Amino acid sequence: MATSSNSFSEDSSISTASIQCPKCKGMMAQGFIIDFHGSKFSRVSNWVEGAPGKPTWFGTTIPAPAEKCFPVGTFRCSVCGFLESYARPEFAAK
C-alpha cells in the first residue's frame, strides 16, 4: 500500500502523529476496525503474515507464530471518510 507524503515515517510514533488525508487533505483520526467474536465480545483486527490456514467451525486457523501477527490501526478522514490502515505492534489493545 502506498502512503501519502504526510503519513508517519518508521521513526515517528504513529499514535501521536498528525496525519493528513491523501485524498482531500482533511485531518485523519486514529481508530480501529472491530472483528466480532460472539454476541458480547470483539477484538481489534490483526494482520497475519502468510496465507490463511484451514477454516474450521470457529474461524480460520492461524499458521504464523505470534511474532508474525500485528494489530491493525485505522485512520479515518474527518472530511471525506477515507480509511488508511497500518499493521504495527503499538496498536495492540491495552
- pLDDT score, position 60: 81
- pLDDT score, position 23: 96
DSSP label of 31: E
- pLDDT score, position 2: 39
Q: Where do we find the cell 494489530?
A: 71
- Residue-by-residue DSSP string for 34-48: EEE-SSS-EEE-EEE
Burial class (CB in 10 A: 0-12, 13-18, 19+), 75: buried
- C-alpha distance from residue 65 to each of 23, 29, 48, 53, 70 (Å): 36, 31, 9, 12, 11
Phi–psi pair at 68, nearest 5 degrees: -105, 15
- pLDDT score, position 38: 67
- pLDDT score, position 28: 96
Return per-residue pLDDT of the chain as tens, 94 residues: 334 444 444 444 555 467 899 999 999 999 988 876 666 777 788 898 888 878 888 778 777 677 888 999 999 999 999 999 999 998 887 7
- The pTM score is 0.69
Please give the Cα distance from 76 to 32 (Å, whole number).
9
- Structural domain boundaries in the chain: 28-91
